[in-house]
Amino acid sequence: MADKNRPVVIDTSATLKGNFAWHITRAFHLAGRCVQCGECSRACPAGIKLGLLNKTLARAADQCFGYRAGMDPENRR
């Protein structure tokens, strides 16, 4: 869904609706993948701590599936 841009699924407007839709979609895509390097927070020109969203979903992945992204050297997927 996030890759389909015609028609526009997520508003490009920098409004509560547009920003919320984009960031929630992004965070969902990173659940179970984000290794929490923190680069998103460091790179954000607006000083938004984006990593907090990822952290929340990482916790959910851990609680629901006992999975922590990037922590198992045997798991190369």
Binding site for other proteins (CB under 8 A): 5-6, 8, 11-15, 18, 39, 42-43, 45-47
10 Å CB burial of residue 6 (0-12, 13-18, 19+) is exposed
CB count in 10 Å sphere of residue 54 = 22
For residues 66 and 43, give the distance between their C-alpha atoms in angstroms, rounded to a whole number: 29
Q: Closest approach of Cβ 46 to other proteins, in Å? A: 7
Residue 64 C-beta: closest distance to other proteins, Å? 31
> Which residue's CB is nearer to other proteins, number 4 or number 77?
4
Nearest residue (CB) to other proteins, 8 versus 60: 8
Min. distance of Cβ 28 from other proteins in angstroms?
A: 20
